[in-house]
């Protein structure tokens, strides 16, 4: 019965597994070296094409959010709600964030 049970820590099995892993790693390293610089420059140019339209879109979304938030705060103020100050601070922070994000993105990508 013992001769049918596979011994996992047999010296020959360990050597076979080591060579299999070594071949996989070497083939990965060889295949990973092709076309790296061209792909990076292509990705950089693709990202640079999209930065300006996306930053304009974010600024437009910020303008809409600012207008809607301003109307909400005006309505709360006229209704006499007590949490107008908290709403005003949250609205102002959101507007500042949405207006600064495109500038930071353009500075990050050097555009």
In a domain, 68, yes or no: yes
pLDDT in tens, 52-96: 888 788 888 888 888 888 888 888 888 888 878 888 888 888 888
Q: How many CA atoms lie within 13 A of 18 on its CB side?
A: 7
Residue pair 58/50 in contact by the 8 Å Cβ criterion = no
In a domain, 59, yes or no: yes
Q: Which residue has the higher pLDDT, 104 or 32?
A: 104
In a domain, 13, yes or no: no
Cα separation, 31 vs 29, in Å, equals 6
In a domain, 87, yes or no: yes
Identify the pLDDT of residue 95.
80
The pLDDT confidence band at residue 107, using thresholds 50, 70 and 90, is confident
Identify the pLDDT of residue 2.
58
The pLDDT confidence band at residue 32, using thresholds 50, 70 and 90, is low
Q: How many CA atoms lie within 13 A of 91 on its CB side?
A: 19
Q: How many domains does the chain have?
A: 1
Identify the pLDDT of residue 85.
85
For residue 104, how far is the Cα from the chain centroid? 15
């Amino acid at each position: 019965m013992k001769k049918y049970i596979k011994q996992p820590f047999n010296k020959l099995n360990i050597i076979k597994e080591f060579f299999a892993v070594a071949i996989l790693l070497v083939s990965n390293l060889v295949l990973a070296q092709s076309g790296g610089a061209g792909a990076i420059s292509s990705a950089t140019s693709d990202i640079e094409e999209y930065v300006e339209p996306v930053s304009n879109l974010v600024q437009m979304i910020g303008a809409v959010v600012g207008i809607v938030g301003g109307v909400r705060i005006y309505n709360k103020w006229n209704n006499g709600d007590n949490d107008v100050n908290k709403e005003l601070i949250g609205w102002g922070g959101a507007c500042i964030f949405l207006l600064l994000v495109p500038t930071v993105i353009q500075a990050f990508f050097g555009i």
